[in-house]
Amino acid sequence: MSVSDSFEPPAEPGARLRHPAEPWRVKSVEPLRLTSPQERRDALEQAGYNVGLLPADLVYIDLYTDSGTSAMSDRQWAAVMLGDESYAGSRSFYRLEAAVRRYYGYEHVIPAHQGRAAENILSRILIRPGHQVPGNMYFTTTRTHQELNGAVFHDIVVDEAHDPAADLPFKGNVDLGKLERLIDKVGAEQIPYVSLAATVNMAGGQPISLANMADVRELTRRHRIPVILDAARAVENAWFIKQREPGRGEETVAEILREMCALTDGATMSAKKDSFANIGGWLAVRDPQLAEKARNLVVVYEGLHTYGGMAGRDLEAVAQGIEESVREDGIRTRIEQVAYLGDRIAAAGVPMVRPVGGHAVFLDARAFLPAVPPEEFPAQTLTCALYLDAGIRSTERGAVSAGRDPDTGENRCPRLELVRLTIPRRVYTQSHMDVVADSVARLHARRGEFASGVSFTHEPATLRFFQSRFRPVASAPLFGPAAR
């Protein structure tokens, strides 16, 4: 992979002194509660040292996820009032269908209540036991549905995606050699589809290039293997293509999004990301037979094929959100806010994934807390420290999220041991970003005090990161009175 001529390297650490002003103003506010250090220590203990189990009221800045946490626009709230709650043939469904067709270009649209519901339907239709599914890095729910249906997932992302320091424009690209070798080894008939994510969440929100998608399309076409896009953050990916890929700077984000989708046979969508909806999703395909199967299954798991687990008002909010998502000023502000936080953290010398991705800043917990052994979960430990320090909730994206190998039962040991500071869309201000950057820098300055991490006291079998509980391995200062 080469760095293209037109790729602008990220600004030097500290160079970004502010991010562009938002193309909206605030119409409604939601009060936040400040907590004392003692309250946070007690709350974290009760939550089993899993910030995901904290009551949200005890969180000051919630960077757990960008999923369903965006601020909806006044137009979206107005659309909510227009929701048609007819059980069958809701007008709101047709509005959503038209928006997906127009902006994503897929003919058949099947609503589902969120991304993983679309993944469930797709996996049940396409996967048979013994199948092999290649993808540009795993995502937790996506791989779980693939495995529950009997497939084995194969990571075919470029090697650099696993290296936090590799500062390259398209770290979400597929390594075509890896894909070709897998096809040769297992045979094309064993591969129900290639799973392409844009952007790649677990790699740090890193984009895939259009050129790489076209190469994947060409290779899979020869072997008659479908390509399914995870479109949750495809608009953010399209923005990166516009900025970084040679010859794309003059195209609109909407045009690039259409081109990306045109290189795939279908998509699963979590509308809780790019589309600013609090709930919602869809599955879309070109093949009418596949669509027929999906409609049959969606009735079983979600609801009728014209509502798919969503109220009419949710369908409206998603449709309106799709239209807003491709506006250039909005997507620019979004990406630059994340970059601003990244720059401030980098300026403090904190190890993190480079370049900064679309939806989050990912801290390199292994480098941040080198004295905490891998089996004591440095990333999980760092999420606890961030909460204790300033009431910030982040996400573990390392060994706890990776789970265990279903065959051997062994802990997976991903090279990336990350903490994700995920930025909800249109929610937090530059001052909030400064609070976060200051806290990260403060903890980094105290990193010598962290000598041990946490261990499991309760470990669920699937998607364990959501419900697991831990205890501190030793009463290091992190968990004691020294925490501010």
51/394 Cα distance (integer angstroms):
7
Q: Quickly tell me which residue has 């965006």 as its tokens.
A: 70
53/203 Cα distance (integer angstroms):
24
Residue 114 binding ligand F0G, by CB under 6 A: yes
Catalytic, 273? Answer: yes
CA distances from 427 to 31, 61, 334, 424, 439 (A): 12, 10, 10, 6, 19
CA distances from 116 to 96, 288, 335, 416 (A): 19, 22, 25, 23
Q: Which stretch binds ligand F0G (CB under 6 A): 48-56, 111-119, 176-184, 407-415?
A: 111-119
What does the block give as tokens for 463?
């998607």
Catalytic, 230? Answer: yes
Catalytic, 184? Answer: no
Catalytic, 286? Answer: no
Residue 264: phi and psi, rounded to 5, are -130, 165
CB of 230 to ligand F0G, least distance (A): 5
Catalytic, 65? Answer: no
CB of 273 to ligand F0G, least distance (A): 7
Catalytic, 293? Answer: no
Cα Rg of the chain (Å, integer) = 22
Catalytic, 139? Answer: yes
Catalytic member of 49, 93, 139, 479 = 139
Catalytic member of 49, 106, 465, 479 = 465
When binding is defined by CB under 6 A, the residue of 35, 76, 141, 325 that contacts ligand F0G is: 141
CB contact at 8 A, 209 and 170: yes
When binding is defined by CB under 6 A, the residue of 90, 149, 173, 201 that contacts ligand F0G is: 201
Tell me how crowded residue 288 is: count the other CB atoms within 10 A of its CB.
10
The torsion angle over the Cα atoms of residues 163, 168, 169 and 170, rounded to 10 degrees, is -40
Residue 65 binding ligand F0G, by CB under 6 A: yes
CA distances from 233 to 115, 198, 200, 237, 275 (A): 11, 6, 9, 6, 9
What does the block give as tokens for 470?
């831990």
When binding is defined by CB under 6 A, the residue of 83, 111, 164, 281 that contacts ligand F0G is: 281
Residue 270 binding ligand F0G, by CB under 6 A: yes
197/138 Cα distance (integer angstroms):
9
Q: Which stretch binds ligand F0G (CB under 6 A): 54-62, 109-117, 159-167, 314-322?
A: 109-117
Q: Which residues contact 405 (CB under 8 A, 6 or more apart)?
A: 412
When binding is defined by CB under 6 A, the residue of 40, 116, 171, 305 that contacts ligand F0G is: 116
CB of 308 to ligand F0G, least distance (A): 13
CB of 322 to ligand F0G, least distance (A): 15
Residue 452 binding ligand F0G, by CB under 6 A: no
152/407 Cα distance (integer angstroms):
10
User: Per-residue x/- mask for ligand F0G, residues 216 to 235, rule CB under 6 A?
Assistant: --------------x-x---
* DSSP symbol at 287: -
When binding is defined by CB under 6 A, the residue of 171, 244, 272, 313 that contacts ligand F0G is: 272
CB contact at 8 A, 379 and 399: yes
CB of 114 to ligand F0G, least distance (A): 3
CA 269 to the chain's CA centroid: 11
* Helix H or strand E segment including 472: strand 469-472
Residue 139 binding ligand F0G, by CB under 6 A: yes
Residue 420: phi and psi, rounded to 5, are -100, 125
| 50 versus 201: smaller Cβ distance to ligand F0G | 201
Residue 197 binding ligand F0G, by CB under 6 A: yes
CB of 415 to ligand F0G, least distance (A): 19
Q: Which stretch binds ligand F0G (CB under 6 A): 137-145, 176-184, 211-219, 290-298?
A: 137-145
Residue 67 binding ligand F0G, by CB under 6 A: yes
| 197 versus 345: smaller Cβ distance to ligand F0G | 197
Beta-sheet pairing, 418-422 with 360-364:
antiparallel
Residue 245 binding ligand F0G, by CB under 6 A: no
When binding is defined by CB under 6 A, the residue of 90, 142, 333, 383 that contacts ligand F0G is: 142
Residues with catalytic function: 87, 139-140, 230, 273, 397, 465
Residues that bind ligand F0G (CB under 6 A): 65, 67, 114-116, 139, 141-142, 197, 201, 230, 232, 270, 272, 281
